[in-house]
Chains A and B, each alone.
Chain A
Amino acid sequence: MLSRREFFHLAAATAALPATALNFRSAMARQKVMQQDLLQFDSLGQVTLLHFTDMHAQLVPIYFREPTVNLGVGEVRGLPPHITGKDFLGKYGIGPGTPEAYALTDQDFTAMAKSYGKVGGVDRMATLVKAIRAERPDNTLLLDGGDTWQGSYTSLKTGGADMVAVQNALGIDAMTAHWEFTYGVDRVKELQDSLNFPFLASNVRDTEWQEDVFEAIKYFEKGGVKIAVIGQAFPYTPIANPRYLMPNWSFGINEDNMKKRVADAQAAGADLIVLLSHNGFDVDRKLAARVPGIDVILTGHTHDALPAPVKVGNTLLIASGSHGKFLSRLDLKIENKQVKAYNFRLIPVFSDVIEPDKEMAALVDKVRAPHLGEISRELGYTEDLLYRRGNFNGTFDDVICQALLAERDAEIALSPGFRWGASLLPGQAITVDDVHHHTAITYPNVYRMEMTGEFLKTVLEDVADNLFNVDPYYQQGGDMVRVGGMSYTIDINKKIGSRISNMTSLKTGKAIDPAKSYVVAGWASVNEGTEGPPAYDLVANYIQDQKVIKVPDNQTVKVIDA
């Protein structure tokens, strides 16, 4: 976190910025936020953990808007990460208009983005990592929480190989995974062999003999401390993603397995036990309360960025955001196998103020060069802010739903509630690269089929329960399925089967009839053999036809959270 003094410094800079001067973009930010400010840290203890997660193959700087709506239910209602916007700023004592407010919330996003510039870029990440390693050469571990190999044109075309090259160059010490598995078992095994570091997944077993498929724990010695890093892959990979891509691997949260892994680490004499997790924040919060002995959980999957650890018992939970936008640094002082003191900072990777690492920049150029002509091809431009995050809708998803309806001549569109995808500012061109940031998956086909009103309701109820089940162990960590051509009401605190009501066709203005069939277009089906054009081509064609993208305010989902 920035110091109070730095806040004032930066707040003053923003306040002094007249609206007409926004065209200078990040000049002011560059002048006031310096690379050394981002690296400023009172180092402590024997161990420095560096963590990023859910990079989603973002090699170059992007804009990324945090959600406006991120609701929690049951015991976690109103707790971080289920607070957003002004409430978030208040909770963490962050001033509006500050770089931290820009990095962590949706507030005044477009203006702030023009002032502070883009975020992320693996060459910037490399600069930060190298600087911290230089300061703490014998103390530092760099851990990658997964969802690294998927989310861009180049990652899709190279089958994740571009990201493996980047990971090896960054000097990752261990990773775990989720979307990695969607390249299929053979490709995962192939890429795993080309990693310079272990691919940890303590909860993946073969279905036949229940044997571990991957290494579960890796031990490291740093600053005289024996560290056990346990990996936990996304527990619901074969459910949230196509099972046919990993037919003989079983996942699951598997608390008993985790207890056993912790016991194994303790028996091996570990002084510090770290869980590198892709469970999702609420799952990890529950796990921490039920599986004692884990010192630190580096959370992932749900893309939450928190400027301070959440403590559950003696366990510290770290949430490092997504898309390469943040690098977490956690320094730990270990005595008698206990964390005696810690210091933490969620470092925002402000692209315009961090000097790109030359070697990494060269690698990124090399990886992108063969595809540069295609990925930089401009399809049109947007008049409105395009983003994806939010529990119920995002403007980029609105565009996708409109594309599905138009290109497949459907009455209703369904688009998955993925949490990955970069943002675009009003006036920005939309390139092939940008479309892939929201659609680059290995099962992209857009189906067109008839569904009854009853089945549509079942789909909505099913996905809503994945998001709003009061027991986090039943949550799959995505957002609500995006719907085009239909409005509905959702009462998030009800039970499955009674959350969704008032389903209405926007075309006819009539209530959806349970017995009637509707033509539905959708993509990312988990069923094998789904036919139709890939979503990235369909959306690209749509944008090219439209040339100018405008997104009207989406009023189709009425949310009840009483």
Chain B
Amino acid sequence: MTETQLTLSRRQALKGVSAFALTLVAAGLLAPGAHADAAAVDAAIKKLVKGTPEEGKIKLDLPQIAENGNTVPVAFEVDSPMSKDDYVKTVHLFAEGNPSPEVASFHFTPQSGMARASTRMRMAGTQNVVVVAEMSNGKVYMAKQQVKVTIGGCGG
């Protein structure tokens, strides 16, 4: 996400991100049938980041159960002062059930002000969403949440 995008209004920014997400979905459709799994996500993390991820710092905002598997809102915020000496460099978004485990990477600078973004993902089935944040000091944080995609119906 660029600096200019962050100065846009929430509405405009969301519009931009939605378009972004759509291209990812389109890209994902090129490899139908094959799905990643937890091991593939682990391997992708190892490939992309150095060091072992710790828990903490990342707040996820995604539903426990998807209302519409075709467009699941996913948002994160990483706790950081975002100063010259201490900021979030990159945040990677993974989905265990995606055809390719890596969904998106978001790059930040101290000028970003805060390390947060939102997007929408298509999910064919229940899966874990994993977010990994690389900090400027080399530390790596990770957060994970399951998003269920259910058949629906039968609520009391």
- Say whether, besides A239-B150, A252-B63, A301 and B156 are in contact (CB < 8 Å): yes
Interface residues of A in 465-491 (CB under 8 A from B): 465-466, 471, 473-474, 476-479, 481
CB pair A481 B148 closer than 8 Å: no
Whether A194 is near chain B, meaning CB under 8 Å from some CB there, is no
Residues of chain B within 8 A (CB-CB) of A416 are: 153-154
Interface residues of B (CB under 8 A from A): 10-11, 14, 59, 61, 63-68, 73, 126, 146, 148, 150-156
Q: List 25 A-B contacts (CB under 8 A).
A: A209-B14, A210-B14, A237-B155, A239-B65, A239-B66, A239-B155, A240-B154, A241-B153, A241-B155, A243-B67, A243-B68, A252-B64, A416-B154, A417-B154, A458-B151, A463-B153, A465-B148, A466-B155, A471-B64, A474-B65, A478-B155, A481-B154, A496-B126, A524-B153, A525-B153
- In angstroms, how far is the closest chain B Cβ from the Cβ of A167? 21
A420, B156: Cα distance in complex, Å: 7
- Interface residue? A118 (CB, 8 A): no
Partner of B150, one of A250, A302, A462: A462
Known: A178-B155, A420-B156, A477-B156. 6 other contacts (CB 8 A): A238-B67, A473-B64, A481-B154, A496-B126, A525-B153, A526-B152
Tell me how far the C-beta of A456 lies from the nearest C-beta in chain B, rounded to whole angstroms.
11
A residues with CB within 8 A of B: 178, 209-210, 234, 236-241, 243, 250-253, 256, 280, 301-303, 416-420, 458-459, 462-463, 465-466, 471, 473-474, 476-479, 481, 496, 524-526
Contacts of A238 in B (CB 8 A): 67-68
Bound Cα distance from A180 to B14, whole angstroms: 30
Instruction: Enumerate the 4 nearest inter-chain pairs by beta-carbon distance, A residue then B residue, closest first.
Output: A240-B155, A478-B156, A419-B156, A416-B154
Query: A474 to B11, alpha carbons, bound, how many Å?
Result: 30
Q: Give the interface SS of chain A, mostly helix, strand, loop or mixed.
A: loop
With a cutoff of 8 Å between Cβ atoms, the chain A residues found around residue B65 in the complex are 236, 239, 474, 476
A469–chain B nearest beta-carbon distance, Å: 8
Give Cα A280–Cα B155 distance, bound, in whole angstroms.
Answer: 11
Report how far A301 CA is from B59 CA in the complex, Å: 29
- B155 touches which of A209, A234, A252, A474 (Cβ 8 Å): A234
Whether A476 pairs with B154 at a CB distance below 8 angstroms is yes
Shortest distance from the beta carbon of B142 to any chain A beta carbon, whole Å: 19
B71 to chain A, nearest CB (A): 8
CB distance from B115 to the nearest CB of A (A): 17
